[in-house]
Amino acid sequence: MSVVIDGLQYANWSEKIFRQMRAGGVDAVHVTITYHESFRETVLNIEAWNRQFERFPDLIFQGFGAEDVTRAKETGRTAIFFGAQNPSCIEDDIGLVEVLHRLGLRFMQLTYNNQSLLATGCYEAEDTGLTRMGREVVAEMNRVGLVVDMSHSSERSTLEAIAHSTRPIAITHANPATWHAARRNKSDRVLGALAESGGMLGFSLYPHHLQGGGGCTVSSFCEMVARTVDRMGVERLGIGSDLCQDQPDSVVDWMRSGRWTKAVDYGEGSADAPGFPPMLEWFQDNRHFGAISDGLRAVGMSIAEVEAIMGGNWLRFFRESFGPNEAAL
């Protein structure tokens, strides 16, 4: 079964976007439901999503397992899988890992740019690796089936998470640093360890992560994907677009600054352009995933390889990752 799965989006969700998902044949999306929110605030965000599921049952529904991707494909809808881009939602309580998993959380980043209670973010000067709590939380995430995501984490922390986790981890939205040296992109050492451990990399289409920024061409992007296939193997790769469609620039302040600073943190942007960068001409929204698959074919990939990257690999990863660890039962 050929499927299309996006490994990360943070859009300003609306009926328009849900209909664009259907027009683009997107079967499943990992959506960010929380950044710096507390547990209770995260629950309120889940409540808001419940209203969306009630209003648009013909377009979307909440996904809990890989079988929901199949159901979405068969019923012409999009399965929505919840994720957190920071561990703020578990506060300092490891017990909330299981609670949030039962509510549908399927991915959680150990950091969002800064040092957290669990690990070091990619914008810190000192990378101290996994903390004591971090090692315990990774083990608990492994037990219940909550995927460890290291997209915004520093090098040592990412390598230690890969080594410490008993289940494959994900980097849901990033690109190779050798292609474009953004702080958020990953070194060959990290990508090698990720592939060797059975983890997944989702290629990002966020302009700050791309060579040439918003001017990056589809051929440049797809050639980068092809080179990464040579390095990691095709089975470890997918798409994690990091699409932030229709978000106002004010949302960037929450993403980057949260409550940890009184100032504005420009993060991956610059003082001259603090808001969201303009998206690529060839990838504006969920209707444009076909441009990626066509581009991958144009650089010489087989149909089977393209189908794997466009969703087949994520589907396998969902199947292997979202349930409890049977060895721990």
Per-residue pLDDT of the chain (329 residues; tens, 9 = 90+): 799 999 999 999 999 999 999 999 999 999 999 999 999 999 999 999 999 999 999 999 999 999 999 999 999 999 999 999 999 999 999 999 999 999 999 999 999 999 999 999 999 999 999 999 999 999 999 999 999 999 999 999 999 999 999 999 999 999 999 999 999 999 999 999 999 999 999 999 999 999 999 999 999 999 999 999 999 999 999 999 999 999 988 888 888 899 999 988 876 654 445 678 889 999 999 999 999 999 999 999 999 999 999 999 999 999 999 999 866 54
Task: Provide the pairing of β-strand 28-34 with 78-84.
Answer: parallel
Q: How far is CA 51 from CA 17, 37, 44, 64, 125, in A?
A: 16, 19, 11, 17, 41
Residue 37 lies in a domain: yes
CATH code (residue 213): 3.20.20.140
SS3 8: strand
CA 204/CA 173 separation, integer angstroms:
5
CA 42 – CA 86 distance, rounded (Å)? 11
pLDDT at position 286, please? Answer: 98
Number of H helices, E strands in the chain: 12, 9
Q: Is the dihedral of CA 5, 6, 11, 16 positive or negative?
A: negative
Q: Residues near 212 by Cβ (< 8 Å), separated by ≥ 6? A: 220
Helices (H), the chain: 15-23, 39-55, 67-75, 95-102, 132-144, 155-164, 188-196, 218-232, 250-257, 289-298, 303-307, 313-321
Return the closest-CA partner of residue 234 out of 223, 225, 246: 225
The pLDDT, as a whole number, for residue 276 is 83
Asked whether residue 329 is domain-assigned, the answer is: no
Domain count, the chain: 1
- What pLDDT, on the 0 to 100 scale, is given for residue 264? 84
pLDDT score, position 328:
54
193 domain-assigned: yes
User: Do residues 131 and 138 make contact, with C-beta atoms less than 8 angstroms apart?
Assistant: no
Q: What does the alpha-carbon distance between residue 306 and residue 292 come to, in Å, rounded to a whole number?
A: 9
292 to 81, 239, 249: CA distances (angstroms): 22, 9, 26
Q: What are phi and psi of 26, to 5 degrees?
A: -85, 115
CA distances, 266 to each of 8, 123, 213, 256, 291 (Å): 21, 11, 16, 7, 30
φ, ψ of residue 176 in degrees (nearest 5):
-65, 135
Q: Is residue 94 part of a domain?
A: yes
pLDDT of residue 202: 98
Name residues whose C-beta falls within 8 Å of residue 261's C-beta, 6 or more positions apart in sequence: none
The answer to whether residue 328 is domain-embedded is no
DSSP 8-class letter at 224: H
Domain span at residue 238?
Answer: 5-323
